[in-house]
Chains A and B, each alone.
Chain A
Amino acid sequence: GENVEQHPSTLSVQEGDSAVIKCTYSDSASNYFPWYKQELGKGPQLIIDIRSNVGEKKDQRIAVTLNKTAKHFSLHITETQPEDSAVYFCAASSGKLIFGQGTELSVKP
């Protein structure tokens, strides 16, 4: 069945450094790729999404890139801050949303 693999499972960076989370998907029909951030004690919240007709999208300090040929997409966070500490989930959809396993990001001051 459809599958989304997410790496790394944990990531620790110093404040101000960049963080990159990578995902690969198996369903070549996938055309929607959202990223969710889950803070402690809360439900996941959408932070950025990209559709298959776009290769890159930016929103302030976060950006997502998509390589449809290789079936992988990545989240880039620049100038990380302690409030970026959270669990991040990638997902891919061809009508049904499949989530990755999650990455616990820790930003140390």
Chain B
Amino acid sequence: DVKVTQSSRYLVKRTGEKVFLECVQDMDHENMFWYRQDPGLGLRLIYFSYDVKMKEKGDIPEGYSVSREKKERFSLILESASTNQTSMYLCATKDGTGDYEQYFGPGTRLTVT
């Protein structure tokens, strides 16, 4: 059974703070993704990684960066948090290339004040 865990369920940060969101998976999947979920906008891809130290921009990468130093861990970094980054952040993993099921973590609800 695939397990995707995210470091926090709820997080409150101040404008300008550096924020780290961590995602860990236990199924040896090559691909990992970060999405943000906003009402009426669905899930939008921020960044993804198909291998250790590899990363690709998604549809809304501005204001974010990522790090993948180990296969099981994918971090999302907000260099200087802003109020418009208040959102639900979801991590997902996928095995192999091609179109297959993505496995999601429970999400981190980030509030930036």
Q: In whole angstroms, what is the CA distance A35 to B99 when docked?
A: 13
Q: In whole angstroms, what is the CA distance A6 to B41 when docked?
A: 10
Q: Is the CB of A43 within 8 A of B107?
A: yes
CB contact between A44 and one of B41, B45, B90 (< 8 Å): that residue: B90
CB contact between B42 and one of A1, A43, A89, A95 (< 8 Å): that residue: A89
Beyond A31-B99, A43-B4, A44-B90, whether A101 also contacts B41 by CB under 8 A is yes
A109 CB-CB contact with B under 8 Å: no
Which residues of A have CB within 8 Å of B41?
A: 101
Q: Is the CB of A49 within 8 A of B101?
A: yes
Beyond A6-B42, A101-B42, whether A46 also contacts B99 by CB under 8 A is no
Minimum CB distance partner of A100 in chain B? B42
Q: Is the CB of A97 within 8 A of B102?
A: yes
Q: In whole angstroms, what is the CA distance A85 to B43 when docked?
A: 19
CB contact between B99 and one of A9, A95, A102 (< 8 Å): that residue: A95
Which residues of A have CB within 8 Å of B99?
A: 31-32, 34, 51, 93, 95, 97
Q: Is the CB of A89 within 8 A of B43?
A: yes
Minimum CB distance partner of A101 in chain B? B42
Which residues of B have CB within 8 Å of A32?
A: 99
Q: In whole angstroms, what is the CA distance A98 to B102 when docked?
A: 12
Which residues of B have CB within 8 Å of A100?
A: 42
Beyond A41-B106, A42-B106, A43-B106, whether A99 also contacts B101 by CB under 8 A is no
A-B contact pairs, 23 of them (CB 8 A): A1-B59, A6-B42, A9-B40, A31-B99, A34-B99, A34-B101, A36-B104, A42-B106, A43-B4, A43-B90, A44-B43, A44-B90, A45-B104, A49-B101, A89-B42, A93-B99, A95-B99, A96-B45, A99-B42, A101-B40, A101-B41, A101-B42, A102-B40
- Which residues of B does A touch, CB under 8 Å? 4, 39-45, 59, 90, 92, 99, 101-102, 104-107
- Which residues of A does B touch, CB under 8 Å? 1, 4, 6, 9, 31-32, 34, 36, 41-46, 49, 51, 89, 93, 95-97, 99-102
